[in-house]
Amino acid sequence: MRILLLGCTGFIGKSLIPKLISEGHEICLISRKNINQLKINFALEKIAFLRLNLSRAESWDDVNLLNQLKISEGIINLSGEPITDKRWSEEQKLEIENSRINTTRYLMQNLKKNKINPKVIINASAIGFYGTSLDKIFDETSPGGEDFLANLCKKWEEAASQKPFFTRLVILRIGIVLGSNGGALGKMLPIFKVGLGGPIGDGNQWMSWIHIDDLCNIIINGIKDKKYSGIINAVSPQPVTMKEFSSMLAKCLKRPNMLPVPGATLKLILGDGAKLLLEGQKIKSIKLNNFFKFKYPLLQEAIASLTKK
């Protein structure tokens, strides 16, 4: 299948590209960053690349982009400024919003304008949709929260819902993605390896996670399997508390688990964004449990696979 991949230089995108290639898909990558950052070390004959900032309306006037839209059978939209990389200043909040909502809105508008009907669109969202809670359990039927990230996800998903009528839409509300080369685990590994690791805050907050390999497999399955449709929580079947997570990480690395990160320190670094890590949420996926077999359903297996190298 011809796939248009938006947001290819992010943590998930970089892991997904080689898997798409190995499945035989032809890909057009679109990013505002240089392709050299992808460090692609496989054959490029099945890959096209466009360097565009798709959160800007004028980028959609690019003739090459229109041509790629016309020939694409599937679109994977992973566009978005990282949520927890920087402090949530008002400027950063605007960038987080625009990079997701504008890109998704312009995508759907241009598909309709040019009467383009791809077979499937897979659009990222986040479990932040539900807000945070120490005791509630959320699934695909649960209502959304009211904080910044929840409202962002609502607007993001609303933009995605404006897809062409005959196109199957999959919206993945993605949990905390575990991978050794990025995401939360990628940042924590160096700290734990030198024996300075510990839980964030009091450690009682829930962490709904997913292994990067399972997430990539869900996306790939979603391209070809019509069972994948609508809202899907992309999380493992076994959420854990932050205390359990840090303990398991320390155990797999054979390092101590003694130095918790105080909530006040995290708030100084991330501002309002600290709430996501300090409060968390317990998420289950009704849909995935019906038709997806996880390679890493348990945290110990997931962390062991990512720390054995």
List pLDDT tens digits, range 187-197. Answer: 778 878 887 77
Residues pairing with 169 in the sheet = 121
pLDDT of residue 268: 66
Q: How do residues 33-42 score in pLDDT, each as one tens digit?
A: 776 666 665 4
The backbone torsions φ and ψ at residue 252, rounded to the nearest 5 degrees and listed phi first, read -65, -30
Please report how the helices 212-224 and 11-22 are oriented relative to each other, as an axis angle in degrees rounded to 10.
50
pLDDT of residue 115: 97
pLDDT of residue 42: 47
pLDDT of residue 273: 66
Contact 200, 260 (CB under 8 A): yes
Position of tokens 């990628």?
Answer: 186
Sketch the domain layout of the chain as residue ranges: 2-179+210-239
In whole numbers, what is the pLDDT of the chain averaged over residues?
89
Q: Per-residue pLDDT for 223 more than 90?
A: yes
Residues pairing with 171 in the sheet = 123, 231
Contact 130, 206 (CB under 8 A): no
Nearest to 181, CA basis, from 5, 2, 10: 10
pLDDT of residue 153: 96
The backbone torsions φ and ψ at residue 100, rounded to the nearest 5 degrees and listed phi first, read -100, -55
pLDDT of residue 37: 61
Distance of alpha carbon 267 from alpha carbon 223, whole angstroms? 39
CATH number of this structure's domain 2-179+210-239: 3.40.50.720
Q: How do residues 136-154 score in pLDDT, each as one tens digit?
A: 999 999 999 999 999 999 9
Residue type, 190: P
Distance of alpha carbon 206 from alpha carbon 234, whole angstroms? 15
Nearest to 80, CA basis, from 104, 62, 63: 104
pTM above 0.85, yes or no: yes
